[in-house]
Structure 1
């Protein structure tokens, strides 16, 4: 794939999580010397419990294994691309039904030993407090970026982070929304009708309000509780409900100016008692964000309660609401699909910091950032994956979404381009997405990387 490296200056990878581990490995395998920085144990993190690289701080699951599922397709793509993270996950898998789950302690310890023993990887246990000014660097510090480095990144980009405490709304697959009930309309019919509106009458609203008030929440960790107090302007929907029966009707469920079709002449129609609005999340209109529905409810509770909303009874969620510490940058304004910063192409980023969600997505970002850093070190142009692959679609999304409303995104079939023909059966449709993705990835590997998968 690469000629013998003549690079004298090692590439710096900052952060030893999943993305940083993958990036460092891809660089070293390409013959490029790497300095991998990990601040633990010199500086500890409130979420970590060991000093190992690629520690899994939440679940030990990488998601569904089947390749006709979004996470499973990402696994399949990474296997073909030689991901060290997926290789080790396969090696240390434990029984988990249809999911790829690992013995987390052995998984992280083995990765640490493997990278530490690589002749081209120097593992430095120290905190990086500023962005490197020269050479090629990959930033993979994740949602718990240290304060000094976070401040340096903020100065570099000239922007605030989108969030230091992520309270994100659920995202729904468009075709699962009942369009016989939900309707497109703008408030007071101003401009283009850009929102889908789910109307509630008084009885429906009161039932929904009561369900929200009593639904079970996720217990925040101690370090997250300390940060949560800063989000008065971004309250969880259940907290808003607890403040009073009509609080939501004066907030995100405000019905003012929203006319339900067929209730009168334009401009004189009736307003529902309350309205849940959904905003288009992607250019194709496959995904819709529930406006103002940031939440800390347990995932099962979210599906139960939010499917009480008229039009969302059969809603398919590609992402449920989350509320946790999650520092991430405004990737659509800052990054290219190659994961290079627009203002400094020799600085790349990957992992949760760029607005992707999930272990496998972090590994995928590390693979691309590491591969492109290696290509830059060898004087070769960086690459972007085909948009028909799950990896390509994910990095195209985070680099081209609306900067104003950007929120982290997990891998999902809703971000893939449409198939040439409509396939109604969901399982068959996902299988077609998989077949196209893996075929296009193979072609791309041969033509772009010069590899035989």
Structure 2
């Protein structure tokens, strides 16, 4: 009789792992502690709930590494990508989703699957036998986190992750703000107006930076060191690196024209991206923050257009733990000291919804193949999946290992390509063509292995 696969954690990675393994014929038990045991960041008991941004980032699968990862997940019948496509929101070239219907759809598909059982209970110890995937994400419960730390023989690495505020659209002053995607990107009018913009002149920007730097912020416990992931820096940390940092980052004014004052170029612009299909909620792009709640309301209401803003959610900051995967995991995502346990998702040291789900996809397929007695060859390094898993399980320097988004810097070079901007376009296309071929061959080999 085929053994069951147990998965701890029903986020992006755990949900995708369950879907992949079940579709290969494995009985799956998905253990999710919510809603019985809550976290500060989650609002519901839904699986694959989005707690930070509602964006899966670029969907360009020829010139962007994360878009290529989208392509590979779709080719593997990924549940996360299928539901993201179903609940897609206009966002120019990005794949943004309506977060609540997305999570509800993922939950329903998994609950309806005949080979998946969902159990709502907390697991606080590492299992001693069976087949398991730990996909508990950045908010691993204290009990299980301590068990993992005991097993690995060292303290878990950690950094602090921040989330951005969400504003009710009807509280935004549209006599000052306007709708426009940067450089008018997007094929439809809805995509070209997926972003809402609040302009600042020089004096307003300088006053904003002063208020930001002076605001009350979350303090860390004694002995904790704040190791921020550069892709999700709090705006205060960016401002501390230089007064112009934000103006050249999330508040850059390029590619935008204010229709209220078309002849005046804004010194800086705060962008908000649509967060739900109704268009009633907007996420402040790049405005992850560690300011205390009272300070957030005061500072953000000084932004032109947000003077009377009502917040559906204020920003926040939390501890985010991950493994030193280069030393602890093998190339099949198995814990070297307990190979019956695999890890997937952000806890492995990848960063982002897409990367987390991708590692879940791999863990589910690899575990299913092992249970069925059909071990798979290593994931091809020239695919986006392979480049990412190679980085976290051996390609990165263990002493300086930090969470990583997928990027073309993780790919092996393609020989004979020229440098420069035009050369980069051809190089990225060469990377994606090679990756698609390698990933397609790997998937086809699995189809042959799993054929009855």
- The equivalent of 2:323 in structure 1 is 329
- The equivalent of 1:344 in structure 2 is 338
- Map Cα deviations across residues 377-418 of structure 1 (whole Å, 9 max, x no partner): 101214432111111001100111111110000011111000
1:256-275 → structure 2 map (5 Å cutoff): none
Give secondary structure in 2 for the equivalent of 1:325. strand
Q: TM-score, length-normalised on structure 2?
A: 0.67
Q: TM-score, length-normalised on structure 1?
A: 0.67
**Alpha-carbon deviation of 1:427?**
2.2
- The equivalent of 1:356 in structure 2 is 350
- Map Cα deviations across residues 56-81 of structure 1 (whole Å, 9 max, x no partner): 10111101011121110100011111
Matched, 1:390 2:388: no
Query: Residues of 2 paired with 1:114 and 1:235: CA distance?
Result: 37
**Alpha-carbon deviation of 1:421?**
1.6
Contact 1:372-1:383 at 8 Å conserved across structures: no
Contact 1:299-1:320 at 8 Å conserved across structures: no
**Alpha-carbon deviation of 1:297?**
3.5
Contact 1:393-1:415 at 8 Å conserved across structures: yes
**Alpha-carbon deviation of 1:216?**
5.0
- The equivalent of 1:48 in structure 2 is 42
1:193-272 → structure 2 map (5 Å cutoff): 216=212, 225=218, 228-230=220-222, 233-234=225-226
- The equivalent of 2:156 in structure 1 is 161
- The equivalent of 1:128 in structure 2 is 123
- The equivalent of 1:34 in structure 2 is 28
- Map Cα deviations across residues 163-209 of structure 1 (whole Å, 9 max, x no partner): 16469xxxxxxxxxxxxxxxxxxxxxxxxxxxxxxxxxxxxxxxxxx
Matched, 1:450 2:451: no
Matched, 1:58 2:52: yes
Contact 2:66-2:407 at 8 Å conserved across structures: yes
Contact 2:235-2:246 at 8 Å conserved across structures: no
Query: Residues of 2 paired with 1:59 and 1:70: CA distance?
Result: 19
Structure 1 370/442 Cα, relative in aligned 2: closer, same or farther at 3 Å? same
Structure 1 44/307 Cα, relative in aligned 2: closer, same or farther at 3 Å? closer
Matched, 1:305 2:299: no
Query: Residues of 2 paired with 1:220 and 1:391: CA distance?
Result: 41
**Alpha-carbon deviation of 1:329?**
0.8
Contact 1:445-1:451 at 8 Å conserved across structures: no
Structure 1 50/442 Cα, relative in aligned 2: closer, same or farther at 3 Å? same
Contact 2:234-2:287 at 8 Å conserved across structures: no
Query: Residues of 2 paired with 1:354 and 1:136: CA distance?
Result: 18
Query: Residues of 2 paired with 1:299 and 1:376: CA distance?
Result: 45
Q: Which runs of 5+ in 2 are unaligned?
A: 163-205, 249-285, 290-316
**Alpha-carbon deviation of 1:447?**
3.4
Contact 1:15-1:139 at 8 Å conserved across structures: yes
Contact 1:19-1:351 at 8 Å conserved across structures: yes
- The equivalent of 1:95 in structure 2 is 90
**Alpha-carbon deviation of 1:230?**
4.0
Query: Residues of 2 paired with 1:320 and 1:66: CA distance?
Result: 24
Bigger Cα displacement from structure 2, 430-439 vs 347-356: 430-439
Q: Which runs of 5+ in 1 are unaligned?
A: 1-5, 168-209, 237-288, 309-318
Give secondary structure in 1 for the equivalent of 2:157. coil
- The equivalent of 1:259 in structure 2 is none
Contact 1:332-1:399 at 8 Å conserved across structures: yes
